[in-house]
């Protein structure tokens, strides 16, 4: 019965399995860390890593049941598809960091004395922040969001609608992460209606850019993982390059401006874009 329902409702099944796995493991893990009176992370909290890979696990399960081994092999091909033009590597490296740098500069335009410029220090920190971001969100999620969900939605909807739906589903997935400061909503913001709505704007705006890169690289999940990692690393790189901003209201402004710039870029990139066939699509 369960298998029949998965085959009949693959998108819904992916979301249910994904959210169930992630929330069951992530929430207790967060609570163990928050309630730990000793320094460090309790060993049992490491089971939360399973939840971080909920999108990947759900994509594998649903793809195997609905498409069999050939479909699963195609899904894996997307993960290792790294032979793309060098300009797309430059895009995923430069654009996320450039957006946050520009957001910071624009937000501090009337207070440029707050900028403590250290270009070389910021550039040298990029590999560290990239590697720190890589194992969690990027590697645990992109096979699900861009590898499975986006192509399935495109069977029914336009690229713009599909991107918005993936962004909304992506934002909702972070629901339990709102209980842990800094896990989703930046730690300089309180969890309230405003910050939650702002975070949904964040995932939806980034989803537009992800869709563009995904199709320009013929459905490469590998490139989506890199883009995700650099987006996650961008705020830390900006801090190392321009200096740390202590005022919460300024950090919120920078965050909001970065979302607006990302959304604007995504809309421009996807404007009148025609979808070409992706060879490794399931």
Residue spans of the chain under pLDDT 70: 112-114, 274-282
- So what's the pLDDT on residue 273? 76
Query: Among candidates 77, 125, 89, which has minimal Cα distance to 244?
Result: 125
Domain boundaries, the chain: 83-270
Dist CA 12 CA 20 (whole Å):
12
Q: Helix, strand or coil for residue 9?
A: coil
The residues near 257 (Cβ < 8 Å, ≥ 6 apart) are 103, 106, 107
Distance CA 237, CA 119 (A): 10
Chain centroid, CA 124 distance in Å? 23
In this prediction, residue 112 carries a pLDDT of: 67
User: pTM higher than 0.85 for the full model?
Assistant: yes
- Please give the structure tokens belonging to residue 102: 């520009």
Gap between the Cα atoms of 44 and 88, Å rounded: 39
- What are the C-alpha distances in Å from 157 to residues 27, 67, 206? 33, 21, 18
- pLDDT given for residue 152 in this prediction: 96
Sign for the pseudo-dihedral over CA of 269, 270, 273, 274? positive
At residue 280, the pLDDT reads 42
């Amino acid at each position: 019965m369960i298998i029949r329902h998965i085959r009949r409702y693959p998108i819904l099944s992916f979301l249910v399995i994904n959210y169930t796995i992630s929330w069951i493991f992530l929430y207790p893990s967060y609570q163990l860390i928050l309630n730990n009176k000793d320094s460090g992370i309790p060993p049992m909290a490491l089971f939360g890593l399973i939840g971080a890979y909920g999108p990947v696990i759900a994509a594998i399960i649903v793809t195997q049941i609905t498409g069999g081994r050939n479909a699963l092999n195609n899904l894996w091909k997307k993960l290792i598809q790294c032979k793309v033009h060098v300009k797309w590597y430059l895009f995923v490296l430069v654009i996320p960091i450039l957006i946050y740098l520009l957001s910071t500069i624009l937000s501090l335009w009337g207070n440029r004395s707050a900028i403590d410029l250290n270009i070389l220090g910021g550039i040298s920190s990029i590999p560290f922040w990239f590697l720190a971001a890589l194992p969690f969100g990027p590697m645990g999620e992109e096979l699900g969001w861009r590898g499975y969900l986006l192509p399935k939605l495109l069977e029914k909807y336009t690229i713009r609608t599909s991107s918005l739906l993936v962004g909304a589903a992506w934002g909702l997935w972070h629901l339990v992460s709102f209980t842990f400061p800094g896990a989703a909503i930046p730690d300089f913001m309180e969890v309230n209606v405003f910050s939650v709505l702002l975070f949904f704007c964040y995932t939806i705006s980034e989803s537009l850019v992800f869709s563009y890169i995904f199709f320009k690289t013929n459905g490469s999940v590998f490139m989506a993982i890199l883009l995700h990692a650099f987006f996650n690393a961008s705020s830390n790189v900006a801090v190392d390059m321009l200096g740390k901003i202590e005022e919460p209201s300024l950090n919120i402004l920078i965050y909001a401006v970065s979302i607006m710039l990302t959304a604007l870029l995504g809309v421009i990139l996807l404007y009148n874009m025609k979808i070409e066939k992706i060879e490794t699509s399931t």
